[in-house]
């Protein structure tokens, strides 16, 4: 009887340790998230499942063009997925021709699905604070992002992590750029 109790106790301890490690992993290292909406098309599609790296931004800052997940409550969605365009201390502006300027120089990038029709609040220069980022959806004319007053500049402490791999659909499995 003693041997049976010992095996049951060992199994319970093993399962408790696995459960605790799983909770710690999900809380501090990585999590799965789903794309909702069309704001990141053509890079990401509605329904894509991603793995988010939650640990690297504890050791380094987000970089330009990273795809980040940040806390922003919109309807039932607690987070947004967007691409980092402007970094702390930079000045971002979007002209009426849809060109993005960083510190007065045109940003060379090819992520936008189309020319920006509405620069929103970025029609005027926006200087980012030391912990702020300017983010845009890749589907520029169908994205609620830093151009919108309700979203505005994204504070670093609201960034959950970096989307780094698509796990579903399986035919598009792979790293994100």
SS3 63: coil
- The catalytic residue among 3, 36, 54, 82 is 82
* Tokens of residue 24, six digits: 């710690």
- Determine the Cα angle at 104 with ends 71 and 89, to 5°: 40
pLDDT reported for residue 76: 62
Residue 154 has a pLDDT of 96
39 noted as active-site residue: yes
User: Of the listed 3, 36, 39, 60, which one is catalytic?
Assistant: 39
Q: 3-class SS at 111?
A: coil
Per-residue tens of pLDDT for the chain, all 177 residues:
688 888 888 888 888 888 888 777 777 777 888 888 888 888 888 889 898 998 889 899 999 999 999 988 666 667 889 999 999 999 999 999 999 999 999 999 888 778 899 999 999 999 999 999 999 999 999 999 999 999 999 999 999 999 988 988 888 888 887
């Amino acid at each position: 009887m003693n041997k049976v109790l010992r095996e049951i106790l060992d199994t319970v301890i093993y399962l408790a340790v696995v459960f605790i490690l799983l909770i710690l992993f999900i809380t501090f290292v990585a999590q799965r998230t789903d794309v909702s909406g069309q704001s990141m098309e053509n890079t990401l599609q509605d329904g894509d499942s991603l793995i988010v790296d939650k640990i690297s931004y504890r050791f380094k800052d987000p970089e330009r063009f990273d795809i980040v997940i940040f806390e922003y409550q919109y309807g039932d969605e607690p987070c947004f997925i967007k691409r980092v365009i402007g970094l702390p201390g930079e000045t971002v502006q979007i002209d009426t021709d849809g060109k993005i300027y960083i510190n007065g120089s045109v940003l060379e990038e090819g992520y936008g699905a189309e020319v920006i029709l509405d620069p929103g609040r970025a029609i005027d220069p926006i200087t980012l604070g030391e912990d702020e980022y300017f983010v845009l959806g890749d589907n520029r004319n169908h994205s609620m992002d830093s151009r919108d007053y309700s979203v505005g500049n994204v504070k670093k402490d609201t960034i959950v992590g970096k989307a780094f791999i698509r796990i579903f659909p399986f035919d598009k499995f792979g790293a994100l750029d």
